[in-house]
A and B are shown apart, each in its own frame.
Chain A
Amino acid sequence: MSVLEVRNISHTYIKNKQQIHALKSVSFSLEKGEIMGVVGESGCGKSTLLKQISGIETPDSGDILIHGSVPEGKNLKSRRKRYSTMQMIFQNPLESFDPRRKIITSMEENLRFLAGIISKKEQEKIIYSYMEKVDLKKDLLLRYPRELSGGQCQRAAIARAIMIQPEILLCDEITSALDVIVQDKIIRQLKELVRQQEISVIFVSHDIALVSSFCDRIMVMLNGECVEQGNTKDIMTAPQSEYTKVLLDSVLEL
């Protein structure tokens, strides 16, 4: 059974009194340990898609199935159940931590509420081991987000997301605010970690070159529609849709 299945979800916004079809009947499924890239330009609906899957927003129509069942209810218990299998990493690393709390606080919350680990000692042990995995020093944990660089913060966010052993990881443009050298390092680390833990990943990005080097499968989106999806190899070597060709052609290679 697929870890995640998305069936015909559609979503419409009202902006300036105009209806905007952010998503038009998008479907796909994600297998265990699979990394799927979603590429498209701004306004193509790729971020909206992640919001629907993560439950921040509810789609107008269509179903999202996790392990074959629709996550029910909006109460605290069902929310915790949902997020212990699904975590998300955001675009702006500095904003994804509370500016008034130390980095460690937010990690402790995740462990306490989602993994049910209450003892401080056990929490610390897990946090330290994951900080090591993302190559960050322990003393950064006691700092505030603004005292970290963007790259450090994003790595802390990765640690926070995967330390509760989720099955699905949603990544929303996680490196677009970072420099290329940092991006390269983070992507390598992330790939190693998700392979180790067999996490399924949805990797949203505007950079098709980055996606092609990281993902097993690619979905190309345009104006809220999925124009093409398939294995990375197929899309890279024999793209079917015109738009994919344009996108590939736009990559300025060295």
Chain B
Amino acid sequence: MSEVLLDVKNLKAGYGKNIVVDEVSFSVKRNEIFGIVGESGCGKSTLLKALINPKEYGIQLYGGTAFFHDHELLSLSLSERKKLYGSKISMVFQNSASSFHPIRSYRKQFEETLKSHGFWEGDASIEKILDIFSKVHLPEGKRILDSCPYELSGGMNQRVGIAMAVLMNPELFLADEPTSALDVTVQKQVVNELMELHKKMKNSMILVTHNMGVAARMCDRIAVMFQGKIVECKNTELLLSSSEHPYTQRLLRAVPKLKREY
């Protein structure tokens, strides 16, 4: 349970001369949901992108290491990266619809992805996809497989994106604002589905979000980022009940709360 899956040490990254992520260290344990929260521009997305593929996003690294098993994620070669990502590490972004081809059916897109990773088993794979669809509460999985992204709503597409990401049962699941583009009621549902999925699949997850409520609901541990640094990193209950850093306290106070007492 306490085995460390991902160990990031002194990661320093940025764009050009701008240092956006400054000496960040953290570790993610097996079967843990680790949250990174902060406001826009605090470097949380850059941090995640640096772990995914710094070159693709034009991020420059100035030092640090990120070990996933024996692999150093920051200096992977292209072929190693291809092998690792998708099967062992997968990700989902804010707007999943835009990471799919808008006018190709999901069936074809899933088939392609599985084939390129060498997991395609014909009808057995379809069965598996339908099973995961039902886990994220997508009704009529067959109909969805035959539809194209543009035909579905944002919430549905986001669920398909999540299904795609967990399809190959990755050990580490990276989620960048997975619910931010959704309406509040759908957000709640997707959060619940992600939790259920996590319980069943027992993988680790890094959740990057600006929404304190989502982080509080989902994460085991939360790191608060401010101006490129992690200012506080604690178990969720501890962070909510007794935060120490003044920025964390300000952040928690600013979250709007339902006014129930009169």
Contacts from A to B (Cβ < 8 Å): 41-42, 179-181, 183-185, 206-210, 212-213, 232-233, 236-237, 246-254
1/0 contact string of B250-262 vs chain A (CB within 8 Å) = 1111111111101
* Contact for B256 among A42, A185, A213, A247, CB less than 8 A: A213
Q: Which residues of B contact A246 (CB under 8 A)?
A: 185
* Contact for B191 among A206, A236, A252, A254, CB less than 8 A: A252
* Contact for B40 among A179, A185, A250, CB less than 8 A: A179
A254 to B252, CA, bound (A): 8
Q: Which residues of B contact A213 (CB under 8 A)?
A: 256-259
Contact status B253-A232, CB under 8 Å: no
A-B contacts at CB below 8 angstroms, number = 81
Q: Which 9 A-B pairs have the closest CB atoms?
A: A252-B213, A184-B254, A179-B39, A41-B183, A250-B188, A210-B256, A209-B256, A180-B254, A212-B259
Contacts from B to A (Cβ < 8 Å): 39-40, 183-188, 191, 210-214, 216-217, 240, 250-260, 262
Contact status A41-B185, CB under 8 Å: yes
Evaluate whether A41 and B184 lie within 8 angstroms (CB atoms) in the complex, with A181-B254, A212-B258 already known. yes
Q: Which residues of B contact A250 (CB under 8 A)?
A: 184-185, 187-188
**Closest CB-CB distance, A246 to chain B, in whole Å?**
6
Evaluate whether A253 and B259 lie within 8 angstroms (CB atoms) in the complex, with A181-B251, A247-B184 already known. no
Contact status A179-B210, CB under 8 Å: yes
20 cross-chain CB contacts under 8 A: A179-B40, A180-B212, A181-B39, A184-B254, A185-B254, A207-B184, A209-B257, A212-B256, A212-B259, A213-B257, A248-B258, A250-B184, A250-B185, A250-B187, A251-B213, A252-B187, A252-B188, A252-B216, A253-B257, A254-B213
Q: Which residues of A contact B212 (CB under 8 A)?
A: 180, 254
Contact status A254-B187, CB under 8 Å: no
* Contact for A181 among B211, B214, B250, CB less than 8 A: B250
Q: Which residues of B contact A179 (CB under 8 A)?
A: 39-40, 210
Q: Which residues of B contact A212 (CB under 8 A)?
A: 256, 258-259
Q: Which residues of B contact A253 (CB under 8 A)?
A: 213, 216, 257-258
Contact status A247-B185, CB under 8 Å: yes
Contact status B217-A252, CB under 8 Å: yes
A208 to B185, CA, bound (A): 11
A41 to B183, CA, bound (A): 6
Additional 10 contacts, C-beta under 8 A, given A252-B188, A252-B191, A254-B216: A179-B40, A180-B39, A180-B254, A208-B258, A209-B256, A213-B259, A236-B259, A252-B216, A253-B216, A254-B240
* Contact for A236 among B40, B250, B260, CB less than 8 A: B260
* Contact for A237 among B185, B191, B257, B260, CB less than 8 A: B260
Q: Which residues of A contact B216 (CB under 8 A)?
A: 252-254
A237 to B262, CA, bound (A): 9
A185 to B187, CA, bound (A): 25
Contact status B262-A233, CB under 8 Å: yes
**Closest CB-CB distance, B248 to chain A, in whole Å?**
11
A22 to B130, CA, bound (A): 35
* Closest chain A residue, CB of each to CB of B217: A252
**Closest CB-CB distance, B198 to chain A, in whole Å?**
16
Q: Which residues of A contact B39 (CB under 8 A)?
A: 179-181
**Closest CB-CB distance, B111 to chain A, in whole Å?**
30
Q: Which residues of A contact B256 (CB under 8 A)?
A: 180, 183-184, 207, 209-210, 212-213
Evaluate whether A206 and B184 lie within 8 angstroms (CB atoms) in the complex, with A181-B251, A254-B213, A254-B216 already known. yes
A253 to B256, CA, bound (A): 9
* Closest chain A residue, CB of each to CB of B211: A252
Q: Which residues of B contact A185 (CB under 8 A)?
A: 254
A251 to B240, CA, bound (A): 17
**Closest CB-CB distance, B169 to chain A, in whole Å?**
27
* Contact for B258 among A180, A181, A184, A236, CB less than 8 A: A236
* Closest chain B residue, CB of each to CB of A250: B188
Q: Which residues of B contact A207 (CB under 8 A)?
A: 184, 256
Q: Which residues of A contact B210 (CB under 8 A)?
A: 179-180
